[in-house]
Structure 1
């Protein structure tokens, strides 16, 4: 099983570990595209703080975030699973998983990123600020920048099992499973049952709880239909829509009344 996650906008501070070693990151086929974003982002933020803040879509109150990007090559690092914070990652609670579940997380979780493309939760990265919606002056829109290298690398990373897609739209734009991979992909929405609307907090927290539940239970659904059964066994109300044609992903709606 491969689980595709969005990153979090907020991030923990860089660690005290060794600086970034790009060659150590997972999915080495993305190395060239990573280097291009890293170089332009660092140069932009070092050269013109105001322009960088505008490009990154940061308010005046977040001016300090620009400085993070000037130190990407020298700042300390920590595992990506510790860098990403926020509602989804709080609910997922990687640090409090048991040993077996942590091993499953290391194998199956893939976090998408405007800067790195995609990383495993065990990959050591510095804190940064660069969403997939950013349009850099030189490289252009990052979702478009990542599309070709992702198309080369991700099908192999997906293996032969279920692909559970929990990404937001901006990150889903960087890679859309196609063909045989799409047929074993399940894209999940979380809806507030009384209104049947997507509500940000319900959405993020429930997705984190879903992943935690699957990892803790050791569930290994072979495909979307088996995922529906696994989620129902975990107590979720799930509505599934099988694809209307070959090579199309399944759509799953998880209905929740409230999140405690």
Structure 2
């Protein structure tokens, strides 16, 4: 199983510790693009126009300043860096040992800066959204797409792709036609706050149950044990299944 999550807008960093080590990160094939994006991000973040160029509030200058010390900031597990509604609901730190082990194996966070990371990867907090366009890199989703298409498909194995990403991050990688029959988008009707919360709960439930299902209908049955669900078949050969998760039973 591959559970795809978006990053959070809010991020935290440990105050002390060794700096990040790119050689230790999962998916080392992504490192050339990671380095290019980090270099372009640092250049933009040093500009007086950084808030406008990064499309963030001028009140977030402290967050932007983090982009200038990515190499020297204390490394922090991604499971701690990403915070907020979805990650609070996922509650990685409160999973039992077996469920946490599955989460570390199944969950991949698609990141504008790092491309893709596992919860155990020790990274640095940053401020960058996938919808951003950086000089010498271009639109980030397009920049990441070829690289992610090399590293993500092998992770699926014979399982399913549970896609909890928001639209900008989904644009960075779409499974090919050989995988779309095992690709399901988790959709939550209503406000975005509840959508994030419910997607976090779905990811947690899957890690706790531990069933590495081999089809989307089987996955819908597992999610349906804890939620009210409606499964929609793909609209085309390139489209995902859609699982509406409307309420906790």
Question: How high is the TM-score relative to the length of structure 1?
Answer: 0.91
Aligned 1:60-75 pairs, distance under 5 A: 60-75=58-73
What's the CA shift string for 1:174-222, capped at 9, x where partnerless? 000111211111111011xxxxxx3111100011111111111223222
CA-CA distance at 1:40 after TM superposition: 1.2
Report if aligned partners of 2:13, 2:76 keep a CA contact under 8 Å in 1: no
Query: 1:251 is matched with which residue: 229, 242, 248?
Result: 242
* Separation in 1, partners of 2:242, 2:74: 40
Query: Could you tell me which residue of structure 1 aligns to residue 229 of structure 2?
Result: 238
Query: Could you tell me which residue of structure 2 aligns to residue 123 of structure 1?
Result: 121
Aligned 1:213-228 pairs, distance under 5 A: 213-228=205-220
CA-CA distance at 1:122 after TM superposition: 0.5
Query: Could you tell me which residue of structure 2 aligns to residue 26 of structure 1?
Result: 26
Aligned CA-pair RMSD? 1.5
Unaligned runs of 5+ in 2: none
* Separation in 1, partners of 2:242, 2:88: 25
Query: Could you tell me which residue of structure 2 aligns to residue 158 of structure 1?
Result: 156
Report if aligned partners of 2:13, 2:74 keep a CA contact under 8 Å in 1: no
Residue 19 to residue 225, structure 1, CA distance change in 2 (3 Å): same
Matched, 1:207 2:199: yes
What's the CA shift string for 1:88-114, capped at 9, x where partnerless? 000111111111111001000000111
Unaligned runs of 5+ in 1: 192-197
* Separation in 2, partners of 1:216, 1:80: 20
